[in-house]
């Protein structure tokens, strides 16, 4: 571990009263720790510190362990001038509690110059280095060790803290960073305090940048595991790391100079390219001057060519003027012919107008007839719709009739079954009557035989019993009579319904036949009328149009009144008018 301010070597005193119970160093023999210190006069001093063992018999084994505190003895004391000379970020003091080997609280206080910690293996030297990393807000990637923070807290403990005091500005003498770690459900929760005020981790990161700690720099802080990384650094990287360790501004200045050097190199390269481009452009300019002289010669030749062309065009104009005079004379003669032709055209156009009037009248008649046809067609469509509705109703009624026939058939079978049941019931009733009559006679005989002996004693009681027996017999007879009447009424109702359904069926069939006959007659009559009407209109119109066309062709061809193109255009227009009328 190397700090930026070169401080002098000091010694470590172990003031613990007991041997560490949870320390990984389990040596029974006493070990001597020799620390070398170098004072201002460069004299070597050797100090021996003996570890105290449990040799005192007066102490009990079950006594509570005392806190181990290791102090870095202040040989010359903190001088105010020396404290001022310390750089910002120098470590003044560090306190550990339940951290790795130490149970604590253990306080380490730095002295002037270089501070060197020398002790036996597994005595806690690397624990102090790890505490520096985690106490200043860095993670385990710097150490290249176990990545989980829970493994750095002492086994069996659930609370630990690291407190580090750093040199600050002259106004603020020092700054105290404290990290408290609690284990809850096998997870570590960290709390940060700066000068006994709770802060976020962002504040710790700001302190890292402000104090230029840079523990991730291998020159500032180099654990054993990262020695191989340090050996792989090239000279430039080593130089950058040393600049960062001394002062970050130096590294920024170095990077700025590097950029400027690179910019200078790029500028020199650009100058070379520009010089090369200038040479090429000079060559191009020389070529252009040669081409310019050639161009001027060509321009002179072109100007002569233009003059020759102008003379040629003037000669052509004179020739054309003569031709124009001849053409004008020819046009005047044609105009005279035109006037004669136009007079004949006027006559034919007047006749055409008359024909158009006739056609318009015919078209009006045709439109009126067409309206009548449309109305008749609409009526026809309505009748078709009514017919379809009637046919649907007829189909429905036929279905109803089929259902009624099926019901009648089923009712007939039911009637047969009911009649069979009725016969069976009558037979059973007859049998029951015979049985009851027999029983009645038997009971009467029994009662008479039994009661004859008691006739003399109570004749009134006997008469009452006879009445009761007769009443019971009468009730049975009445019940059977009621059932017979109900069955007869049901049979009558079923037979009446069957008769009604049959009557409906016959009526519907007769209506259906009459409607079909009427519809057929109407359809035939309308179809005949429509065909006659349409045939008569088409035939008359076609004859008139064809005659008209033939007459026009004959007139034009005989007298040569119009050109063929003009006649064709007239034909097209005429055909369009007729097609629109027919539509």
Q: What is the pLDDT of residues 148-163, one digit of tens each?
A: 788 888 888 888 999 9
For residue 339, what is the enclosing H or E element? helix 248-452
Distance CA 130, CA 133 (A): 5
Distance CA 35, CA 215 (A): 26
Q: Are 203 and 239 in contact (CB under 8 A)?
A: no
What band does 193 get if pLDDT is binned at 50, 70 and 90? Answer: very high
Q: What are phi and psi of 35, to 5 degrees?
A: -120, 135
* Residue 233 DSSP class: -
Most confident option among 58-62, 292-296, 394-398, 568-572:
292-296
Q: Are 191 and 184 in contact (CB under 8 A)?
A: no
Q: How far apart are the first and last CA of the chain?
A: 110
Higher pLDDT, 210 or 562: 210
Of 259, 583, 519, which Cα lies nearest the Cα of 384? 519
Angle at 411 between CA 408 and CA 417, to 5 degrees: 150
Distance CA 427, CA 442 (A): 22
Distance CA 44, CA 432 (A): 147
Q: Are 545 and 582 in contact (CB under 8 A)?
A: no
pLDDT, tens digit, for every residue of 444-465?
666 666 656 555 545 555 556 5
- Tell me what pLDDT residue 561 has: 53
- Radius of gyration of the chain from its Cα atoms, rounded to whole angstroms: 68
Distance CA 252, CA 75 (A): 38
Take residue 496 and report the two structure tokens written for it: 């009446």
Domain boundaries 12-51+64-215, CATH class: alpha beta
pTM: 0.34
Q: Are 148 and 134 in contact (CB under 8 A)?
A: no
* Residue 120 DSSP class: -
**CB-based contacts of 183, cutoff 8 Å, min separation 6:** 150, 153, 157, 158, 159
Of 22, 37, 204, which Cα lies nearest the Cα of 118? 37
Distance CA 110, CA 74 (A): 8
**CB-based contacts of 92, cutoff 8 Å, min separation 6:** 86, 109, 110, 165, 166, 167, 174
pLDDT, tens digit, for every residue of 219-238?
776 676 666 676 777 777 77
- Tell me what pLDDT residue 42 has: 30
pLDDT, tens digit, for every residue of 475-508?
655 655 676 676 667 667 766 766 776 676 666 6
What band does 201 get if pLDDT is binned at 50, 70 and 90? Answer: confident
Among the residue ranges 169-173, 233-237, 537-541, the one predicted with the least confidence is: 537-541
- What is the rounded average pLDDT of the residues 4-29? 33
User: From the DSSP assignment, how many helices (H) and strands (E) are in the chain?
Assistant: 8, 10
Over 80: is that where the pLDDT of 281 sits?
yes
Over 60: is that where the pLDDT of 27 sits?
no
Hey, which residues does 162 pair with through a beta bridge? Answer: 96, 179
Take residue 291 and report the two structure tokens written for it: 């081409």
Tell me the CA distances in angstroms from 440 to 435, 437, 470, one per residue in order. Answer: 8, 5, 9
Distance CA 451, CA 459 (A): 9
Distance CA 73, CA 328 (A): 135
- Tell me what pLDDT residue 188 has: 86
- Tell me what pLDDT residue 545 has: 57
pLDDT, tens digit, for every residue of 80-123?
666 666 777 778 888 999 888 888 788 888 887 778 888 888 88
Distance CA 434, CA 170 (A): 140
With a pLDDT cut of 90, the percent of the chain lying above it is: 1
Q: Name the residue ranges covered by the structural domains of the chain.
A: 12-51+64-215
**CB-based contacts of 216, cutoff 8 Å, min separation 6:** 138, 142
Over 70: is that where the pLDDT of 79 sits?
no
Higher pLDDT, 557 or 372: 372
- What is the rounded average pLDDT of the residues 16-38? 31
- Tell me what pLDDT residue 557 has: 57
With a pLDDT cut of 70, the percent of the chain lying above it is: 54
Among the residue ranges 47-56, 123-132, 304-313, 500-509, the one predicted with the least confidence is: 47-56
Over 50: is that where the pLDDT of 289 sits?
yes
- Tell me what pLDDT residue 551 has: 65
pLDDT, tens digit, for every residue of 303-353?
888 888 888 888 889 888 888 888 888 888 888 887 887 788 777 777 778
Take residue 131 and report the two structure tokens written for it: 């505490």
Over 60: is that where the pLDDT of 52 sits?
no
Higher pLDDT, 250 or 445: 250
Distance CA 271, CA 235 (A): 32
Higher pLDDT, 87 or 410: 87
What band does 534 get if pLDDT is binned at 50, 70 and 90? Answer: low
- Tell me what pLDDT residue 2 has: 36
Place of tokens 């570590």: 188
Q: Are 390 and 448 in contact (CB under 8 A)?
A: no
Higher pLDDT, 569 or 102: 102
Length of the chain: 583
Distance CA 66, CA 63 (A): 9
- Tell me what pLDDT residue 87 has: 75
3-state secondary structure of 143: coil
- Tell me what pLDDT residue 540 has: 61
């Amino acid at each position: 571990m190397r700090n930026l301010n070169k401080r002098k070597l000091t010694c470590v005193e172990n003031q613990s009263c007991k041997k560490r119970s949870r320390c990984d160093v389990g040596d029974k023999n006493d070990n001597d720790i020799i620390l070398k210190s170098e004072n201002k006069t460069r004299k070597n001093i050797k100090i021996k510190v003996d570890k105290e063992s449990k040799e005192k018999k007066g102490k009990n084994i079950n006594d509570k362990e005392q806190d181990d505190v290791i102090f870095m003895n202040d040989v010359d004391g903190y001088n105010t001038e020396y404290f001022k000379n310390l750089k910002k970020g120098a470590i003044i003091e560090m306190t550990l509690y339940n951290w790795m080997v130490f149970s604590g609280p253990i306080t380490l206080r730095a002295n002037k110059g270089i501070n060197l910690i020398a002790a036996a293996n597994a005595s806690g030297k690397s624990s102090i280095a790890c505490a520096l990393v985690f106490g200043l807000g860095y993670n385990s990637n710097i150490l290249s060790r176990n990545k989980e923070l829970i493994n750095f807290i002492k086994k069996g403990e659930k609370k630990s803290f690291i407190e580090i005091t750093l040199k600050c500005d002259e106004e603020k003498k020092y700054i105290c960073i404290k990290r408290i770690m609690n284990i809850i459900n096998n997870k570590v929760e960290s709390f940060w305090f700066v000068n006994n005020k709770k802060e976020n981790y962002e504040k710790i990161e700001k302190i890292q940048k402000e104090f230029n700690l840079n523990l991730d720099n291998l020159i500032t802080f180099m654990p054993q595991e990262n020695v191989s990384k340090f050996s792989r650094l090239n000279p430039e990287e080593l130089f950058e790391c040393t600049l960062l360790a001394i002062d970050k501004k130096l590294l920024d200045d170095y990077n700025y100079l590097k950029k400027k050097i690179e910019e200078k190199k790029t500028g020199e390269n650009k100058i070379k390219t520009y010089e090369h481009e200038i040479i090429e452009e000079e060559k191009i300019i020389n070529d252009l001057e040669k081409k310019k002289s050639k161009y001027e010669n060509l321009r002179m030749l072109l100007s002569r060519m233009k003059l020759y062309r102008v003379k040629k065009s003037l000669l052509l104009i004179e020739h054309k003027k003569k031709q124009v005079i001849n053409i004008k004379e020819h046009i005047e003669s044609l105009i005279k012919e035109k006037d004669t032709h136009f007079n004949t055209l006027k006559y034919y156009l007047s006749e055409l107008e008359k024909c158009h009037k006739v056609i318009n009248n015919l078209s009006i008649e045709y439109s009126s007839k067409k309206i009548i046809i449309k109305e008749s067609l609409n009526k026809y469509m309505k009748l078709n719709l009514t017919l379809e509705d009637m046919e649907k109703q007829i189909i429905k009624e036929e279905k109803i009739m089929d259902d009624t026939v099926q019901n009648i058939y089923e009712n007939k079978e039911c009637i047969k079954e009911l009649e069979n049941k009725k016969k069976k019931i009558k037979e059973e009733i007859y049998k029951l009557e015979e049985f009851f009559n027999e029983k009645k006679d038997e009971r009467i005989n029994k009662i008479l035989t039994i009661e004859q002996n008691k006739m003399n004693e109570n004749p009134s009681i006997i008469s009452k019993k006879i009445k009761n027996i007769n009443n019971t017999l009468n009730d049975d007879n009445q019940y059977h009579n009621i059932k017979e009447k109900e069955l007869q009424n049901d049979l009558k109702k079923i037979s009446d319904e069957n008769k009604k359904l049959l009557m409906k069926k016959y009526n519907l069939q007769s209506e259906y036949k009459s409607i079909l006959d009427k519809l057929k007659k109407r359809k035939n009559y309308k179809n005949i009328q429509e065909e006659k009407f349409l045939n008569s209109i088409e035939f008359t119109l076609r004859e008139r149009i064809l005659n008209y066309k033939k007459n026009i062709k004959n007139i034009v061809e005989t007298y040569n009144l119009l050109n063929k193109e003009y006649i064709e255009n007239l034909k097209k227009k005429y055909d369009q008018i007729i097609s629109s009328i027919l539509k």
